């Protein structure tokens, strides 16, 4: 669903099999190291403007090593990948990959379900008692949650969020981040960042997010809760007779706003890259801070670590 394999990319078939191998490593083997390696290679190939014609050529890209170069040669020579064929023929791998498509079911839970003989979505529906609230809602809206959200629909949701949250208190600041902020025409979910001047990293706990979520439920925008903590809401929203959409809301202290906006804008691969760069430059970058300095804009973060500034539309790695 979230892979850099779009048509128009001259190497999209390589990206596709690398993304599939990445998912397999994450979901079935729970090997995050290999997951990251495959994703990094897919990301490198997805931004390479010309068709790769050999493993050797691929090897010159940052993030493509010998093992992946060999797979590219095999794919070029045979039109397929034996490793992937084997995975497709392995029933428990297929089941685990299927079950992890449900929001809230991670690789460990999926493995446990498959070990209990639950291998299809029909099995899942008959065993709701084995699912928590998040997973139950995830199953109910599996089809809807896999549909991409057009940009125009997110714009409509943004207007309602602003109207309702400003009614609560006009001092809130609301920023829709994620792929939407990176300019994508379609997104997987709606990532909303909010902050309020009364909330800083030094102030005590508050119920701001509680109030916001309740307001959004009363007006009918938010239709489901998956989880709600003091700073993080996961849920669903819906407009008229459109599909039910995944909505994430994060409440961030106002003094950490810029690091949060940077983090929540992504992409995740871009964040990885930038964090590694920050470490090399002697800083620690995370969603809260750039230690050990004070930040007053997104540009500040790039400046301090000596990373060329990229507008959100240039962060689609």
State the binding partner of 55 from Mg ion, Mn ion, ligand DCP, none, CB within 5 to 8 A by kind.
Answer: none
Report d(CA 109, CA 125) in Å as an integer. 15
In the bound complex, what is the minimum distance in angstroms from residue 265's beta carbon to ligand DCP? Answer: 6
What residue is closest to ligand DCP based on CB?
Answer: 266
Q: Residue 293 gets which letter from DSSP?
A: B
- Retrieve residue 172's tokens: 């809130």
State the binding partner of 195 from Mg ion, ligand DCP, Mn ion, none, CB within 5 to 8 A by kind.
Answer: none
Report d(CA 276, CA 178) in Å as an integer. 20
Q: Is position 189 an interface residue for Mg ion (rule: CB under 5 A)?
A: yes
In the bound complex, what is the minimum distance in angstroms from residue 190's beta carbon to ligand DCP? Answer: 8
113, exposed or middle or buried, with CB in 10 Å at 0-12, 13-18, 19+? buried
Per-residue binder mask for Mn ion (CB under 5 A), 211-250, x = binder:
-------------------------------------x--
Determine if residue 240 is left, alpha or beta; phi over 0 gives left, psi from -120 to 50 gives alpha, anything else beta. Answer: left
Q: Is position 175 an interface residue for ligand DCP (rule: CB under 6 A)?
A: no
Report d(CA 244, CA 240) in Å as an integer. 10
Task: Please name the residue that has the structure tokens 């600041």.
Answer: 173
Task: Confirm if 94 and 77 have CB atoms less than 8 A apart.
Answer: no
Q: Is position 191 an interface residue for ligand DCP (rule: CB under 6 A)?
A: yes
Say which of 40, 71, 109, 238 is annotated catalytic: 71
Report d(CA 74, CA 161) in Å as an integer. 50
| Known active-site residue 71 | yes
Q: Is position 268 an interface residue for ligand DCP (rule: CB under 6 A)?
A: yes
Q: Is position 55 an interface residue for Mg ion (rule: CB under 5 A)?
A: no
Catalytic positions are 71
Q: Using CB under 6 A as the criterion, which residues of the chain lie in contact with ligand DCP when the complex forms? A: 2, 178-179, 187-189, 191, 263-264, 266-268, 271
């Amino acid at each position: 669903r979230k892979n850099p394999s779009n048509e128009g990319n001259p190497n999209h078939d390589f990206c596709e099999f690398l993304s599939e191998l990445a998912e397999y490593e994450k979901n079935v083997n729970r090997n995050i190291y290999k997951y990251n390696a495959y994703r990094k290679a897919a990301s490198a190939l997805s931004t390479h403007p010309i068709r790769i014609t050999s493993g050797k050529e691929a090897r010159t890209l940052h993030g493509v090593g010998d093992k992946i170069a060999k797979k590219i040669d095999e794919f070029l020579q045979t039109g397929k990948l034996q490793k992937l064929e084997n995975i497709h023929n392995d029933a428990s791998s297929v089941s685990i990959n299927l079950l992890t498509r449900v929001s809230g079911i991670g690789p460990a839970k999926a493995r446990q379900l498959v070990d209990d003989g639950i291998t299809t979505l029909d099995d899942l529906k008959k065993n709701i008692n084995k699912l928590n609230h998040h997973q139950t809602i995830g199953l109910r809206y599996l089809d809807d949650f896999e549909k991409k959200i057009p940009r125009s629909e997110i714009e409509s949701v943004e207007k309602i969020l602003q109207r309702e949250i400003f009614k609560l208190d006009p001092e809130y600041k609301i920023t829709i981040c994620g792929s939407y902020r990176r300019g994508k025409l379609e997104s997987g979910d709606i990532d909303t960042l909010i902050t309020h001047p009364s909330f800083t990293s030094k102030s005590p706990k508050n119920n701001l997010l509680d109030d916001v979520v309740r307001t959004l439920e009363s007006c009918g925008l938010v239709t489901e809760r998956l989880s709600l903590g003091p700073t993080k809401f996961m849920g669903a929203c819906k407009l008229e007779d459109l599909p039910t959409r995944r909505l994430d809301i994060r409440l961030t202290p106002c003094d950490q706003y810029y690091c949060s906006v940077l983090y929540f804008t992504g992409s995740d691969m871009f964040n990885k890259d930038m964090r590694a760069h920050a470490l090399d430059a002697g800083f620690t970058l995370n969603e809260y801070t750039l230690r050990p300095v004070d930040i007053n804009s997104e540009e500040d973060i790039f400046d301090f670590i000596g990373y060329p500034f990229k507008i959100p539309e240039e962060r689609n790695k």
